[in-house]
Amino acid sequence: MKSAVIVFPGSNCDRDMAVALELVTGRAPEMIWHRETELPDGLDIVAVPGGFSYGDYLRSGAMAAQSPVMRAVVQAAGRGVSVLGVCNGFQVLTEVGLLPGVLMRNAGINFVCRDVSLTVANSQSIFTSRYEQDELLSIPVAHHDGNYFADSATLDRLEGEGRVAFRYAERVNGSVHDIAGILNTEGNVLGMMPHPERMVEAAHGGTDGRRLFEGLVGTIFA
């Protein structure tokens, strides 16, 4: 399996993501600098990692979305390549239009950094196939702008089409419908604020995040 991790100025979870991908796939991902205009051939997974690209200047993910490499990521998603955006990566994916809605300032106007409880809202996607429906997970968050919002029509589509992948099972940031992660229409793009790459081995305190990567690998090679 061939994967890539996009790296922006200010990214700080790119190495975490790379370690998780190598752990599960057995192959180190290619690290792609944001100024590249093309992605390597034959990619199965593209990860847009967490961090604070461009220092969250202007709006979280807004400047990173203008990076040349993101045009290639959008094109790859259109070809069916799996794309995972975590935290800042989720924000970037909404900014480039791969996912609907916006990530606003947390309702409490505070930075949230702790393990949180999630429920699996859709266990049928390529990202969630190793989880049980409504399973309770513990995954870390670390964000100031994770408050998901979309208009009522968009929310109706997300809910009606089963595109909500994860929900918060506790009060975290004020996200509408407790949304923690969503899928695109085709199901090959997932954006989520919690960090599954930080919960992939026992040393992290748990392995609930690992099954996301394992399920993705298993589905691609099924």
Residue of 13, 34, 143, 197 with catalytic role: 197
Q: How many domains does the chain have?
A: 1
Does residue 195 carry a catalytic annotation?
yes
160 exposure class (CB count in 10 Å sphere: 0-12, 13-18, 19+): exposed
DSSP string, 176-204: GGGEEEEE-TTS-EEEESS-GGGSSBGGG
- Residue 72 has a pLDDT of 98
Give the tens place of pLDDT for each residue, 126-157: 999 999 999 999 999 999 999 999 999 999 99
Provide the domain limits for residue 156: 3-220
Q: Tokens 């809605």 — which residue?
A: 101
Higher-pLDDT residue of 56 and 194 is 194
Does residue 13 carry a catalytic annotation?
no
* Largest CA-CA distance found in the chain, in angstroms, rounded: 44
For residue 183, give both structure tokens: 């899928």
Residue 28: pLDDT over 90: yes
Nearest residue to 56 (alpha-carbon basis) of 129, 132, 144, 125:
144
- Residue 87 has a pLDDT of 97
Residue of 13, 34, 95, 195 with catalytic role: 195
- Residue 57 has a pLDDT of 80
Does residue 177 carry a catalytic annotation?
no
Residue of 13, 87, 143, 204 with catalytic role: 87
- Residue 222 has a pLDDT of 65
- pLDDT band for 219, please (50, 70, 90 cuts): confident
**What CATH number does the domain containing 46 carry?**
3.40.50.880
